[in-house]
Chain A
């Protein structure tokens, strides 16, 4: 019998470590023969902490939202052989949400213990690299990746085999392999989950890629804000070295030896851009270099370098173990395999999902994600983070593949899906993302440094009710210019959230500018709070709760709000029991 506690960052944040301790004590006290283990994140963050029970017959029961009491109850129920009666057993609906997914890059996440290499090996790990070294030439490895149709999962979707091949063909004997684990999009945590839940999948993927391109040294550039990921990577690397997968002649064939090290990033979003990442690796300020030359020609210290992201590498062992065809059998014609998405925002079941390419956005958000929180109306979904764009309801039924997403003006991106409901103001949303890119701009090139600031100022003006006719056109002109003239991918996509919201929600911009109204009632400066004298009973609760004494009136008489004093905090609206306060 075994209990497995999900201990990814999300689980720990929800109290998994506490649950683990309670379980440990209770098992000890009960004297039952129950082993206790840990695993990474299964993706259902909204149900954390999650504990799996596997009985002696191998039957699995999942418990969700395990707090101290539930943890105690679980051990009691196991001892009494009545686990199914536990109230916190996962619902069929949640089980189904998991069953609808297809897990390739997350194949081991939430199942194996990331700190135990044996569990990775037992699940078929390190078989792919063995096959590569013993049976295949590097060219054959690249061919297998070509057959799989795998495209880069970091955002741009460039064919992975092509990058491998370019680095292999690039002249020189000293080459480098870099893993971009500087995941920085707001609301995205795909890579973190792999790093924390299945670090050996990344390590094996990198060894295979190193063999394919002829690089004997690999570097994982991981953001310093992922301490657990770094800890587990270090453990995994030490174990891999002990078993002879790193720093040793692989399988004694005299063909290939690979070393790997970690470089923790210092907290700049732009370092997710590959050339800025290289500058940072070399110890410089993280600013992008002009391309061409591409890293495959002149990368780390001027040597041919191949850079891929975590999810891409995590797919590689699967491809080499099962064949490129097996991967290509999943997905659509131009987008093979699966994609991991981080569901965030106004969604019921926030978390991580991996689905076959080609599934519709509706199926992901409503079928798996359970729909919109509080059953409000769906408005849009932001795909691709601050570099992406919003996709409105009319495109809910498009399939998730590179071409279809690009057509909407958004991008596949690295997998962030921030869901917005009817109460989201799209101008405010665009302002949020632009504020992010503006702050994260490295300041090197003129269009991004100066231009994003001016766009942000215009959006601030609009949301403050100071917008003027012509502002939308100015935003469009400046946005298109920044996209076309900036040095790196950050600048070249910085305006996308603004341009797509203008494209699909122009009426909201016009309402802010022309009517000085925020249709979603989010932009404070444009709101007016009033009290309906018919409905007001003069209970004084609003006046007593107003933090700035803007409400006047005597007991049992209708009250009034002085708009000159009102700071639009919404407190009166919240506390009124008679629905007398309205906001326009």
Chain B
């Protein structure tokens, strides 16, 4: 592997030539803010928050997409960079509801984190906002379009599973939005409620509906565990408050860990003190289901029953 040496904010970094500036910065302990970047997703360079200044180059460049070169000198917090970041954040806040007080995502929201970091505030204006539209058709996922910052993460993570690919974009320019299939409701769409999109949404635009109103990140304990439904063993967390396990949520899907609804319901059933009614989708409608049906163990239970009664007869 070929290595290159570059300087980032005065620090020397020696990294593989295939690295981007953002990866190289991470290597030397410099965090570059980014909303659309994720190491497991294709690079899109959409949010423009990770812009950096490269000496000898008049333009600002996105560090998520720019490959390192030998002798490169990078500034990640120069005056020009900070100004651009503040502008990006201000434009995003100008089109985002001032709802952090009651937002489920508060405390974990990346927009909140960076706005605080760069001292950018909500301001009143009489210009346009995204239309307020909340899709409540699914018992598992809540889509709040007004909060979406169009980072593309949900669309990309959904795309990674060949037989899902439900999320996409609709419209263009200021009207651009994330849509399920041909802009259907979540219920009508082919969404399988795996919640991959929810795990990666940096803001409160896609939320785990079964978690809402129960606890926020600072309220209680978070314990990691692995799903036992199948051999993938996806990562989950159980959230507890006042000594009670109140919710389960999926963590980002890892390599070969696709996440699924059955695994999530199994995890809820096994971990929660008071699990909510499960729903399954039949003919494009969410319907209440028994736990036996939702976990697809009806056949197993029947068989066990039969075997039990056989054992009883034999006794």
Chain A positions within 8 Å of B, measured between CB atoms, are 268, 285, 289-290, 292, 438-447, 449-454, 457, 478, 481, 484-487
Q: Which residues of A contact B150 (CB under 8 A)?
A: 443-444, 446, 449
Of the residues B169, B172, B174, contact of A450 by C-beta under 8 Å: B174
Of the residues A289, A445, A484, contact of B60 by C-beta under 8 Å: A484
Of the residues A447, A449, A481, contact of B174 by C-beta under 8 Å: A449
Q: Is the CB of B94 within 8 A of A443?
A: no
Q: How far is the CB of B258 from chain A (nearest CB, A)?
A: 23
Q: Is the CB of A447 within 8 A of B173?
A: no
Q: Which residues of B contact A449 (CB under 8 A)?
A: 150, 173-174, 176
Q: Is the CB of A438 within 8 A of B173?
A: yes
Q: A444-B44, A445-B46 are in contact. List 17 more A-B contacts (CB 8 A).
A: A285-B168, A290-B44, A290-B45, A290-B64, A438-B173, A440-B172, A443-B150, A443-B176, A444-B150, A445-B47, A446-B48, A446-B150, A454-B127, A485-B48, A485-B84, A485-B87, A487-B62
Q: Which residues of B contact A478 (CB under 8 A)?
A: 87
**Does B307 make an interface contact (CB < 8 A)?**
no
User: What is the bound-complex CA distance between A454 and B172, given in angstroms?
Assistant: 16
Interface residues in B53-103 by Cβ distance below 8 A to A read 59-60, 62, 64-67, 83-84, 87-88, 91-92, 94-95
Interface residues in B4-61 by Cβ distance below 8 A to A read 43-49, 51, 59-60
Q: Is the CB of B172 within 8 A of A442?
A: yes
Q: Which residues of A contact B128 (CB under 8 A)?
A: 453, 457
12 intermolecular pairs with C-beta atoms under 8 Å apart: A289-B44, A292-B66, A292-B67, A438-B174, A440-B173, A443-B175, A444-B152, A445-B48, A446-B91, A447-B87, A449-B176, A453-B127
Q: How far is the CB of B130 from chain A (nearest CB, A)?
A: 10
**Does B314 make an interface contact (CB < 8 A)?**
no
**Does B223 make an interface contact (CB < 8 A)?**
no
Among B91, B92, B171, B176, max chain A CB count under 10 A is at B91
User: What is the bound-complex CA distance between A471 and B208, given in angstroms?
Assistant: 42
Q: Which residues of A contact B176 (CB under 8 A)?
A: 442-444, 449
Q: Is the CB of A290 within 8 A of B48?
A: no
Q: Which residues of B contact A485 (CB under 8 A)?
A: 48, 51, 60, 84, 87-88
**Given known contacts A447-B87, A451-B91, is B169 in contact with A486 (CB within 8 Å)?**
no
**Given known contacts A292-B67, A485-B88, is B48 in contact with A453 (CB within 8 Å)?**
no
User: What is the bound-complex CA distance between A442 and B45, given in angstroms?
Assistant: 14
Closest residue of chain A to B47, judged by CB? A446
Closest residue of chain B to A454, judged by CB? B127
Closest residue of chain B to A291, judged by CB? B65
User: What is the bound-complex CA distance between A449 and B83, given in angstroms?
Assistant: 18
User: What is the bound-complex CA distance between A485 and B82, given in angstroms?
Assistant: 12
Interface of A (DSSP majority class): helix
Q: Which residues of B contact A289 (CB under 8 A)?
A: 44-45
Q: Which residues of A contact B49 (CB under 8 A)?
A: 446
**Given known contacts A290-B62, A442-B172, is B48 in contact with A454 (CB within 8 Å)?**
no
User: What is the bound-complex CA distance between A285 and B169, given in angstroms?
Assistant: 8
Q: Is the CB of A450 within 8 A of B46?
A: no
User: What is the bound-complex CA distance between A451 and B92, given in angstroms?
Assistant: 10
Q: Is the CB of A443 within 8 A of B91?
A: no
Q: Which residues of A contact B84 (CB under 8 A)?
A: 481, 484-485
Q: Is the CB of A439 within 8 A of B173?
A: yes
Q: Which residues of B contact A440 (CB under 8 A)?
A: 172-173
**Given known contacts A446-B48, A485-B88, is B67 in contact with A453 (CB within 8 Å)?**
no
Q: How far is the CB of B85 from chain A (nearest CB, A)?
A: 9
Q: Which residues of B contact A285 (CB under 8 A)?
A: 168-169
Q: How far is the CB of B96 from chain A (nearest CB, A)?
A: 10
Q: How far is the CB of A488 from chain B (nearest CB, A)?
A: 10
Closest residue of chain B to A466, judged by CB? B126
Closest residue of chain A to B86, judged by CB? A481
Q: Which residues of A contact B67 (CB under 8 A)?
A: 292
Of the residues B43, B91, B152, contact of A447 by C-beta under 8 Å: B91
Q: How far is the CB of A486 from chain B (nearest CB, A)?
A: 7
Q: Which residues of A contact B47 (CB under 8 A)?
A: 445-446
Closest residue of chain A to B66, judged by CB? A292
Of the residues A443, A446, A481, A487, contact of B173 by C-beta under 8 Å: A443
**Given known contacts A292-B67, A457-B128, is B48 in contact with A486 (CB within 8 Å)?**
yes
User: What is the bound-complex CA distance between A439 and B176, given in angstroms?
Assistant: 11
Q: Which residues of B contact A481 (CB under 8 A)?
A: 83-84, 87
Q: Is the CB of B51 within 8 A of A450?
A: no
Q: Which residues of A contact B173 (CB under 8 A)?
A: 438-443, 449, 452-453
Q: Which residues of A contact B62 (CB under 8 A)?
A: 290, 487
Q: How far is the CB of B310 from chain A (nearest CB, A)?
A: 58
Interface residues in B137-187 by Cβ distance below 8 A to A read 149-150, 152, 168-169, 171-176
Of the residues A268, A441, A446, contact of B92 by C-beta under 8 Å: A446
Q: Is the CB of A268 within 8 A of B172?
A: yes
Q: Which residues of B contact A487 (CB under 8 A)?
A: 45-46, 48, 62
Interface residues in B169-215 by Cβ distance below 8 A to A read 169, 171-176
Q: Is the CB of A290 within 8 A of B43?
A: yes
Q: Is the CB of B59 within 8 A of A446?
A: no
Closest residue of chain B to A293, judged by CB? B67
Q: How far is the CB of A508 from chain B (nearest CB, A)?
A: 23
Q: How far is the CB of B31 from chain A (nearest CB, A)?
A: 19
Q: Is the CB of B94 within 8 A of A454?
A: yes
Q: Which residues of B contact A439 (CB under 8 A)?
A: 172-173
Q: Which residues of B contact A484 (CB under 8 A)?
A: 59-60, 84
Of the residues A268, A444, A447, contact of B88 by C-beta under 8 Å: A447
Q: Is the CB of A444 within 8 A of B94?
A: no
Q: Is the CB of A441 within 8 A of B88?
A: no
Q: Is the CB of A450 within 8 A of B65?
A: no
User: What is the bound-complex CA distance between A268 and B169, given in angstroms?
Assistant: 15
User: What is the bound-complex CA distance between A506 and B44, given in angstroms?
Assistant: 38
Closest residue of chain A to B171, judged by CB? A443
Q: Which residues of A contact B88 (CB under 8 A)?
A: 446-447, 485
User: What is the bound-complex CA distance between A564 and B48, given in angstroms?
Assistant: 47
User: What is the bound-complex CA distance between A259 and B134, given in angstroms?
Assistant: 50
The 6 A-B residue pairs with the shortest CB-CB distance, nearest first, are A443-B176, A290-B45, A290-B65, A450-B91, A441-B173, A453-B174
Q: Which residues of B contact A442 (CB under 8 A)?
A: 172-173, 176
Among B62, B87, B95, max chain A CB count under 10 A is at B87
Closest residue of chain A to B65, judged by CB? A290
**Given known contacts A453-B127, A485-B84, A485-B88, is B48 in contact with A443 (CB within 8 Å)?**
no
User: What is the bound-complex CA distance between A485 and B47, given in angstroms?
Assistant: 10
User: What is the bound-complex CA distance between A484 and B87, given in angstroms?
Assistant: 11
User: What is the bound-complex CA distance between A485 and B266, given in angstroms?
Assistant: 46
Q: Which residues of B contact A451 (CB under 8 A)?
A: 87, 91
Q: Is the CB of A443 within 8 A of B45?
A: no
Q: Which residues of A contact B152 (CB under 8 A)?
A: 444
User: What is the bound-complex CA distance between A557 and B150, given in angstroms?
Assistant: 63
Q: Which residues of B contact A454 (CB under 8 A)?
A: 91, 94, 127
Q: Which residues of A contact B175 (CB under 8 A)?
A: 443
Q: Which residues of A contact B87 (CB under 8 A)?
A: 447, 451, 478, 481, 485
User: What is the bound-complex CA distance between A558 and B188, given in angstroms?
Assistant: 67
Q: How far is the CB of A346 from chain B (nearest CB, A)?
A: 29
Q: How far is the CB of B51 from chain A (nearest CB, A)?
A: 6
Q: Which residues of A contact B95 (CB under 8 A)?
A: 450
User: What is the bound-complex CA distance between A575 and B237, given in angstroms?
Assistant: 77
Q: Is the CB of B127 within 8 A of A457?
A: yes
Q: How far is the CB of B180 from chain A (nearest CB, A)?
A: 16
User: What is the bound-complex CA distance between A70 and B215, given in angstroms?
Assistant: 84
Q: How far is the CB of A181 from chain B (nearest CB, A)?
A: 21
Q: How far is the CB of A298 from chain B (nearest CB, A)?
A: 11
Q: Is the CB of B172 within 8 A of A443?
A: yes
User: What is the bound-complex CA distance between A446 and B48, given in angstroms?
Assistant: 7
Among B45, B66, B94, B169, max chain A CB count under 10 A is at B45
